Structure 1
Amino acid sequence: MNKFMGFLEEKVLPTTHKIASQRHLLAIRNGVLSTLPLTIIGSFFVILLNFPIEGYADFIAPYREVLDIPFRFTVGAMGLYASFGVAYALAGHYKIDQLSSGLLAVLAFLLTSVVPVNVTESVDGVIEAGRWLDISSLSAQSLFGGIVTSLLTVEIFRFFIQRNIKIKLPDTVPPMVANSFSALIPALVIIVLFWFVRHILNFDINYVITWAVTPLKDLLVGNSLIGGMLTVFLIVFFWTLGIHGPAILGPVIRPMWDAAILENMDTYAATGDAANLPTLFTEQFIQWFVWIGGAGSTLALVVLFMFSKAKYLKELGRLSFIPGLFNINEPIIFGAPIVMNPLLAIPFIIAPLVNTVIAYLFFTFNLIPMIMAKLPFTVPSPIAAIISTDWSIMAGILVIINFTVALLIYYPFFKMFEKQQLQTEEESQTS
């Protein structure tokens, strides 16, 4: 085991650190994360529109269209916001004008995702004849295309700026004005390029990119138990090496997670049926039913520590309990530690995998509706599970079941670790 851990530390850690710090992957992760407040607020409006109270639907019926607007302009335009965020983050790495980069990325995304529609006949109260833009293409369905066009836009912009191919103004001109003129030539190239590809060659970048990533998305973030377990395993495995698991997988899986929950929210907003939504293994599935107390289902270990005979473990458990309730588990991961500790790393990996299987069975047998909302990760798991599954009490019960299962899995490893800790404390007292 020591040789294996040494191999991981010597060979695997450097590679994963390089991946985690790669500029494009960091930009994707940070850019998509920047949309988090919008998706959470959008979720609240989905919940507001669908309270499971008798007579509530009739009560809000006159206001439903108005109440739906915030959802349409948050979740419904998520690809637009993500394209700005990714470009802004990447431009910050290159130390070029972030605002211009973000605006050009939004422009590129609009050129590739929105095709104006000609309406020849007016419909009273619905639409007037003229040229209209369909904003439905700005949602999760174009998220991957928005990411790619943003990266390309920043690289094109950087190419021109680095080679000094820009309109130069005297030094006395304010920086904001100078930056705007510096972006003129790159902006022209970006507009012509993406316009030509999409509207002259009729090459749909968003469709091609979405088609290309669909097999991977269906595996990791679809309805496959194997894919869901693979995602969970990789995250906790990296954590045992001391690496933030989602930071490694984030650039690949976070756009898929966000696209999946946005699709669920959009479908639920349209149908009101939480039992039949597109995706099971959203991030929220893992967050509420697998990560109970944080990655590795560590709230169970925290509770065991609280009642430990070892003074250090008891104190660490008490200090970690409140953060653990709100799904923050760095204190226990690095304090126990679980990192590079085979004795605790084994249940840290096994417990969430078992929880994944149990939760999958509950959903597969339709004991719980599917997830239709995105809540802040700091909401305690039982409460968040109930709310995000259209107020299913059984979801809260499942969280308690999985917590109990994790407790049982951790227990024998905890006792062995506690024995080691007691011996250490006794030796320190006698020395």
Structure 2
Amino acid sequence: MSSPMDGFMQWMETKFVPVASKVGNQRHLAAVRDAFISILPITMVGSIATLLNVFVVDLPTMWLGEENVVTTSLAQVVNVDGLVSHGSMAIFALCFAFAFGYRLSRAYDVDGLAGGVIALASVVATMNFAPEFAYVLPNVTPDAMGALSSAGLAVAEVDGAVTLQVTGANLISTALTGATGLFSALIFGIISTMVYVKLTLKDVTIKLPEGVPPAVSKAFAAIIPGVVAVYVCAILAQLCVALTGQYPNDLIVEFIQKPLLGISQSAPAIVLTSFLIQLLWFFGIHGSQVMAPVLEGLYTPALLENMQVWNATHDIAQLPYLWTKASFECFSMFSGAGITLGLIIAIMIFSKRRECRVVAEMSAPMGVFNINEPVIFGMPIVLNPLYLIPWLLVPVVATVVAMAFTFTGLIPPVFIQVPWIMPVGIGAFLATGGNVLAGLVALLNLLISFVIWTPFVKLANRMDAPEKQ
């Protein structure tokens, strides 16, 4: 007679796993995942600049006061970090648009370089090149507003401060090109790339004679699809302006981006994401890759928004999002999915099974740096009912613990992307701008994982007789 666990495993293998595999291999979702991976250097260099400023400006100012010797002596480093930020986070959406167009075009076996260029041009074609800015005029009292107005300046009083209203010309706000513009880059990247792909596959192209260099032939072949793609996006943008008075990015942020990011910040959404990653891994499917559209599409923009706000304000209280993609990495996925470093420690202390101890000893050095495939497939954990409960439970509990500390304000939200190989505690410390308690929370989660894994390691001792040493 089959047990309920056998029935569950069979249902998952026949119903859930095939669907998850299709989702993971869907071309558009895979292109989103691969595009974010492609521009990881841009994310990391921007994060490094932010992290350096934390230790060069923010912490010295907190400890030594304004105009301290550390910040003053390293002023040129701060200036360089500002330039790096302009070349990374300020143009993140544009980099993503190109990478996404390239990846999606390649998925359809058409010229990826042309697809990336067309997607980038199409996204820029939807942007407002005459944004309005409001600058607060320091040391100007409301009494001077009359004179300023007489001089032809557009001034207004806002909360007792005099602001100057300026309309830019041939300018693009970093709100469009940075993290805030990611959803627009994704939507118009899909539209433009699919127009280019479909026209190319239907041979609506300029064909040159044989013997023409391939680079020239590909460039001419992309002209008609590229022109149509850019015009389609530009027409859609102008329709938005004509019908609503707003550019597409404003509408997308208001009605799509903010609601989705708001939902992603709810405790059930965060816990469910962590749970699904584990469930997929149990069946041998790379959970992080299948869930990449959620992790990269929702939680990465949250991380980038936090970083952008921090760079502008240096105020933890103003960070808009409490949970980001790096929050998973720092608190519930360090040492890899399932926090298997806790399992490795439990095996080394309590296991009497020689084969388990060998796998643990070989996997420990890699586990410290968040590589745990040897444990997942070597124990194995995949499709092993013995480890199903702790495998699913550990990351969920760790996520809830970290959420409790973050949502109550005991530790700041994660706002810096750190290299994924950072050992437990160090990654959380750096990702929160040098918060010691955040590092201790990660270590607490390691202890919790050890406690949860230990009974199942002892249970494994009783299931199989240990070999004689």
TM-score computed with the length of structure 2 as normaliser: 0.84
**Is 1:248 the equivalent of 2:252?**
no
User: 2:425 matched to 1:377?
Assistant: no
How far is 1:147 from its partner? 1.4
1:138 to 150, 166, 177: 177
User: In the aligned structure 2, how far is the partner of 1:76 from the partner of 1:362?
Assistant: 30
Deviation at 1:93, TM superposition (A): 1.4
Offset of residue 320 of structure 1 = 1.0
Query: What's the CA shift string for 1:65-88, capped at 9, x where partnerless?
Result: 443121122112111111111111
Any residues of structure 2 matched to 1:196-345 within 5 Å, and which?
Answer: 196-199=235-238, 201-202=240-241, 204-210=247-253, 211-220=255-264, 222=265, 224-307=266-349, 308-345=351-388
Give the CA deviation at 1:200: 5.1
The 1-side partners of 2:407 and 2:206 are apart by 60
The question of 1:407 aligning with 2:453 is answered no
Residue ranges of structure 1 left out of the alignment (5+ in a row):
122-126
Q: Is the 8 A contact 1:114 1:138 kept in 2?
A: no
Mapped pair 1:353 → 2:396: yes
Task: Measure the CA separation in 2 of the matches of 1:406 and 1:130.
Answer: 56
CA distance in 1, matches of 2:263, 2:295: 11
Give, in whole Å, the separation in 2 of the partners of 1:104 and 1:164. Answer: 17
Task: Give the Cα separation in 2 of the matches to 1:213 and 1:253.
Answer: 14
Contact 1:274–1:372 (CA under 8 A) maintained in structure 2: no
Deviates more, 1:97-106 or 1:82-91: 82-91
Mapped partners of 1:59, 1:352: distance in 2: 43
Q: Provide, for residues 326-380 of structure 1, a one-character-per-residue CA deviation record: whole Å limited to 9, x for no partner.
A: 1111111111111112221111111111111211222233322221210111111
Once residues 207 and 339 of structure 2 are traced to their aligned partners in structure 1, the CA distance between those partners, rounded to angstroms, is 57
Superposition deviation, residue 408 in structure 1: 0.7
Matched AA of 2:196:
F
Q: What residue in structure 2 maps to residue 76 of structure 1? A: 90
Tell me how far apart the structure 1 counterparts of residues 334 and 240 of structure 2 sit (CA, whole Å): 50
**TM-fit CA distance, 1:201:** 4.4
Q: Give the superposition deviation at 1:278.
A: 1.3
Partner of 1:124: none
Residues 231-254 of structure 1, C-alpha deviations (whole Å, 9 max, x = no match): 111111111121111111112331
1:149 aligns with 2:163: no
Pairing 1:51-66 to 2, within 5 Å after superposition: 51=55, 52-53=59-60, 54=64, 55=68, 56-61=70-75, 64-66=78-80
2:436 corresponds, among 389, 393, 400, to 393
Could you tell me how far 1:230 is from its partner in structure 2?
1.3
Q: Tell whether the 8 Å contact from 1:280 to 1:371 is kept in structure 2 after alignment.
A: yes
Do the aligned partners of 1:274 and 1:371 also contact (CA within 8 Å) in 2? no
RMSD: 2.3
Aligned pair count reads 419
Distance 2:295 2:168 in 1: 42
Q: CA deviation at 1:399?
A: 1.5
Shift of the alpha carbon at 1:275? 4.5
| Length-normalised TM-score, structure 1 | 0.91
Match of 1:24 in 2: 28
Residues 156 and 128 of structure 1: is their aligned pair in 2 closer, same or farther, counting only changes over 3 Å? closer
In structure 2, list runs of 5 or more residues that go unmatched: 134-151, 154-165
**Aligned pair 1:6/2:43, yes or no?**
no
Amino acid at match of 2:460: F
Counterpart code for 2:426: I
Q: Can you list the C-alpha shifts for 1:162-213, whole angstroms capped at 9, x where unaligned?
A: 2211111111211111111111111221222222221354163334444224
Shift of the 34–302 alpha-carbon distance from structure 1 to 2, 3 Å rule, reads same
Give the match for residue 109 of structure 2.
95
The answer to whether the 8 Å contact 1:305/1:316 transfers is no
Letter of the aligned partner of 1:385 in structure 2? A
SS at match of 1:361: helix
Cα drift, residue 306 of structure 1:
2.3
Partner SS state of residue 333, structure 2: coil
Larger displacement relative to structure 2 (16-25 or 193-202): 193-202
Change (3 A) 1:341 1:129: closer
CA distance in 2, matches of 1:128, 1:150: 28
Please state whether the residue corresponding to 1:164 is helix, strand or coil: coil
How far off is 1:324 after superposition?
0.8
Query: SS at the partner of 1:328?
Result: coil
Partners of 1:215 and 1:341 lie apart in 2 by 39
Matches of 2:208 and 2:345 in 1, distance apart?
64
Taking the aligned partners of 1:411 and 1:130, their CA distance within structure 2 comes to 64
How far apart, in 1, do the equivalents of 2:108 and 2:170 lie?
Answer: 39
Match of 1:176 among 215, 231, 237: 215
One-letter identity of the residue aligned with 2:229: I
In the alignment, the residues of structure 1 paired with residue 352 and residue 411 of structure 2 have an alpha-carbon distance, to the nearest angstrom, of: 39
Once the two structures are overlaid, the 10-residue window that deviates more, 59-68 or 284-293, is 59-68
User: What do residues 34-89 of structure 1 show as CA deviations (whole Å, max 9, x unaligned)?
Assistant: 11111111111011122112323344456644431211221121111111111111
Moved more, 132-141 or 234-243: 132-141
Q: Which has the larger radius of gyration?
A: 2
Contact 1:327/1:380, CA 8 A, preserved across alignment? yes
Q: Are the equivalent residues in 2 in contact too, given 1:49–1:67 (CA < 8 A)? A: yes
Report which stretch shifted further, 258-267 or 191-200: 191-200
Paired letter, 1:354: V
**Separation of aligned partners in 2, 1:130 and 1:13:** 53
Read off the aligned partner of 1:190 and give its amino acid letter: A
Structure 1 residues 396 and 282: CA distance shift in structure 2, 3 A: same
